[in-house]
């Protein structure tokens, strides 16, 4: 199975709870998904700057082998 991800284009995507965020490891394996910015702190303002974040935008397109 595979899925797609890309860097955020602007802060509005990062702060949008309708946009899934993904963190990948050094081998590009997905390790964490969230609707909130990653990392997230309830104590921080709700609008954050993407420059300090390491997550990607999850595209949500999955590839699954066809059944025979």
DSSP sequence for the chain: -B--EE--SSHHHHH-TTS-EEEE-TTS-EEEEESS-SS--TTS-SS--GGG---EEE----B-PPP-
pTM value is: 0.65
Per residue in 25-55, pLDDT (tens digit) is 888 888 889 998 776 666 655 555 545 557 8
Domain boundaries, the chain: 5-58
CA 25 – CA 12 distance, rounded (Å): 24
């Amino acid at each position: 199975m595979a899925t797609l991800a890309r860097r955020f284009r602007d802060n509005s995507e990062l702060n949008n709870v309708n946009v899934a965020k993904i963190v990948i490891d050094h081998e590009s394996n997905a390790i964490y998904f969230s609707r909130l910015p990653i990392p997230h702190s309830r104590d921080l303002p709700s609008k954050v700057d993407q420059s300090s974040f390491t997550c990607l935008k999850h595209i949500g397109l999955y590839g699954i082998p066809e059944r025979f």
